[in-house]
Chain A
Amino acid sequence: MSDQRIVPIVMPKWGLSMKEGKVTGWLLEDGSRINPGDAILEVETDKIAGAVEAHESGVLRRRVGEPDTVYPVKSLLGVIADPSVPEEEIDAYVSSFVTPSADEDEAEQGPKYEYAETSSGKLRYAKRGSGDETAILIHGFGGDLDNWLFNIDALGESATVYALDLPGHGQSAKSLDKPGLGALADAVASFMTTVGIDSAHLVGHSMGGAIAMHMAASDPGKVDSLTLICSAGLGREIGSYVDSYLAAQGRKDLKPVLEQLFADKSLVSRQLVDDVLKYKRLDGVEPLLKDLAAALFAGQTQQDQPGARLAAGKAPPALVIWGKQDEIIPHSHAQNLPGAKVAVFDGAGHMVFMEKASDVNALIKAHIAGS
């Protein structure tokens, strides 16, 4: 059966709204040997640019996607097959390939987003995978669950993965009593109760990392392991990002602020800026973010150090990941959690899990498997 020996490389769907993407370039030549996780080609959407990674091993037999050309999601971009498959079979596969429509695709995968009624209000979340281990992805200040678009599907291959919008973020309720780390940690705990999770591997980015550590310190039984990505709560320094993010009123002000997030500034697309601006303008968002910022980051200083509250020896195993070009929280903080595994990536900023998605995904998978 040719369909077992021939594996298509298709235009990925990153996030709910992605309908098409532009091939910007191939990273591998025809005939290259490919292993799972290898970056094969680069794709750009109106929101973000990223690499399409291999899920199977084999040989890159055919590069179908032309650079600088836009393809719908699920379109055939290339073919991976064993060297033994004849060229004619590859030709036939390519010519007979039918791109499934986006609607069928959504129907077969079920809802991308769900909502949980928690004691901290209605929280939006996404769920992927069905592995025995459960992981929860917690975004940072001003972020949302779509920040994990390059991670959630990959992590879902080996675990049951939830990503949620924190209160005041994304499409969750825009209110929170006594905004602060405790209230956010309570929201995550309440989310776990609502969807029936006893304990989970917590993967937190930035403020989300501080929330994860707070939970590990206050209720260690709920936390199987910690993955802390450019995490808050491991030192006092923090850049001007939060203040500038709050102060920015229009696209022009916001763009340079969001550029602080990435080592590669070109990743900040007009759509990314627009989406953040639209979010910031929702009623209730700005007051809540201001309260959170005042509680957590007043005077450009991290007010709470949950890392220091983790009891030595009793704390769950921790993995700390940082981007060396992080302009918001210095990568030196990666060294501040004794006993943790540490990985610092050059060529990545605060959004290291987007900029180095395949490496970060591999580290997290291994960490969850080993914990």
Chain B
Amino acid sequence: MARKISMRQAINEALDQEMARDPSVFVMGEDIVGGAGGMGEIDAWGGVLGVTKGLNAKYPGRLLDTPLSESAYIGAAVGAAACGMRPVAELMFLDFMGVCFDQIFNQAAKFRYMFGGKAETPVVIRAMVGAGFRAAAQHSQMLTPLFVHIPGLKVVCPSNAYDAKGLLIQSIRDNDPVIFCEHKNLYGAEADVPAESYAIPFGEANVVRDGKHATIVTYGMMVQRAMDAAAALAKQGVECEVIDLRTLSPIDWDTVIDSAERTGHVICVDEAHPRCSIAADVSAMVTQECFKALKGPIQMVTAPHTPVPFSPVLEDLYIPSAEAIAKAVKKSMAH
């Protein structure tokens, strides 16, 4: 049955239900239990933002607090996956990829190809992404494009609690390595989420609003901003279709191209930096696939080509706003 729960609870529930279903699933990361080896409370934290709270009591021995050694434990998750386990490793902040990227992009991503299709590496790497948390340049980035670039990886970035649960369950059941990006500013966002387990297939974008005048393609926290922009534009008679990509690799080109062909105006919204971003990727593909259907230049609304600033006033300017999205829609439609 569906209840309103937060994305934090939805992710916890997905982990819970998959651990109950499959004994080869285990969870590892820094402070995911919290208090390991100390004299105080065990399960003190449940992850730095409490996402894994309470699981340790239900699945003793299957939540492993790791030393602060991202290379070692992300690599260990990859190695265990290559040996038939289904580890879910939490990298805490995706910004920490710099410490352990080799294990992700040279090892996990490439085993299947390098080994001629004989390897399966069903590892899930969960990590927080995104700005707006006043966490500054090394804890706030939207680094999804870096992972999308790598063949062999799948990249997921849910925009709401319902999708988060279904996509995480799919990630755990999937037989390829998955980078599961959780926007830290969405953890508290609630949605109707069934209590039952369910999986949302990868490569299926969600059209979250129908519209005939313009297509806004986005993912993650930007979905809500795009919806806000679409609501504002609707009052002015402009109906935007809003596409939540949900998974960035694989990506649902069909839905994007189909919509672009109908509206002729495409606005790509990405919380990542502009260069080689998901926005740039979508722009290029739309141009290539349906150039003749376009009635105006494709617009990209992204963060600027700067690190994420700390000062709240700057950070708020850094994150693409609903106003900027609405402006971009109008700019395309002015042609």
Q: Interface residues, chain A, CB within 8 Å of chain B?
A: 17, 113, 124, 171, 174, 249-252, 270, 278, 281-284
Whether, in the assembled complex, B194 has its beta carbon less than 8 Å from a beta carbon of chain A, the answer is yes
Smallest distance from the beta carbon of B178 to chain A beta carbons, Å?
Answer: 18
Smallest distance from the beta carbon of B25 to chain A beta carbons, Å?
Answer: 15
Q: Which single residue of chain A is at the shortest CB-CB distance from B195? A: A171
Interface segment among B83-91, B197-205, B327-335: the answer is: B197-205
| CB-defined contacts of A124 to chain B, threshold 8 Å | 1
Q: Which single residue of chain B is at the shortest CB-CB distance from A270? A: B210
Most buried by A among B1, B201, B204, B210: B1
A17 to B2, CA, bound (A): 10
| CB-defined contacts of B196 to chain A, threshold 8 Å | 174, 282-284
- Counting from the closest, the 3 A-B pairs by CB-CB distance are A283-B197, A171-B1, A281-B198
A278/B198 in contact, CB under 8 A = yes
Q: Is the interface of A mostly helix, strand, loop or mixed?
A: loop
B201/A249 in contact, CB under 8 A = yes
A251/B1 in contact, CB under 8 A = no
- A selection of 15 A-B contacts at a CB cut-off of 8 Å is A113-B1, A171-B1, A171-B194, A174-B196, A249-B201, A250-B201, A250-B204, A252-B255, A270-B210, A278-B162, A278-B198, A281-B166, A281-B198, A282-B196, A283-B198
A334 to B207, CA, bound (A): 39
Smallest distance from the beta carbon of A23 to chain B beta carbons, Å?
Answer: 17
* Interface size class, chain B: 10 to 19
- Contact string, B243-273, partner A, CB cutoff 8 A, digits 1/0? 0000000000001000000000000000000
A251 to B166, CA, bound (A): 16
B207/A282 in contact, CB under 8 A = no
B194/A282 in contact, CB under 8 A = yes
- Contact string, B95-106, partner A, CB cutoff 8 A, digits 1/0? 000000000000
Contact A251 to B207, CB < 8 A, known contacts A124-B1, A281-B166, A281-B199: yes
Smallest distance from the beta carbon of B239 to chain A beta carbons, Å?
Answer: 13
B207/A270 in contact, CB under 8 A = yes
A177 to B305, CA, bound (A): 59
- Other than the given A249-B201, A278-B198, 12 more pairs (CB < 8 A) read A171-B2, A171-B194, A174-B196, A251-B207, A270-B210, A281-B166, A281-B198, A281-B199, A282-B198, A283-B198, A283-B199, A284-B196
Q: Which single residue of chain A is at the shortest CB-CB distance from B193? A: A278
| CB-defined contacts of A281 to chain B, threshold 8 Å | 166, 198-200
A249 to B204, CA, bound (A): 10
A17/B192 in contact, CB under 8 A = yes
- Contact string, B173-209, partner A, CB cutoff 8 A, digits 1/0? 0000000000000000000101011111100100100
A17 to B201, CA, bound (A): 25
A252 to B194, CA, bound (A): 22
| CB-defined contacts of B199 to chain A, threshold 8 Å | 281, 283
Smallest distance from the beta carbon of A173 to chain B beta carbons, Å?
Answer: 10
| CB-defined contacts of A270 to chain B, threshold 8 Å | 207, 210
- Contact string, B1-14, partner A, CB cutoff 8 A, digits 1/0? 11000000000000
| CB-defined contacts of A113 to chain B, threshold 8 Å | 1
A282 to B192, CA, bound (A): 14
| CB-defined contacts of B255 to chain A, threshold 8 Å | 252
Smallest distance from the beta carbon of A204 to chain B beta carbons, Å?
Answer: 24
Smallest distance from the beta carbon of A149 to chain B beta carbons, Å?
Answer: 16
Smallest distance from the beta carbon of A311 to chain B beta carbons, Å?
Answer: 40
A270 to B166, CA, bound (A): 19
A278 to B199, CA, bound (A): 9
Q: Which single residue of chain A is at the shortest CB-CB distance from B199? A: A281
Smallest distance from the beta carbon of A257 to chain B beta carbons, Å?
Answer: 16
Q: Which single residue of chain A is at the shortest CB-CB distance from B201? A: A249
Most buried by A among B196, B199, B204, B207: B196
Smallest distance from the beta carbon of A125 to chain B beta carbons, Å?
Answer: 12
A171 to B197, CA, bound (A): 12
| CB-defined contacts of B210 to chain A, threshold 8 Å | 270
CB within 8 Å of A: which B1-56 residues: 1-2
| CB-defined contacts of A251 to chain B, threshold 8 Å | 207
A113 to B192, CA, bound (A): 16
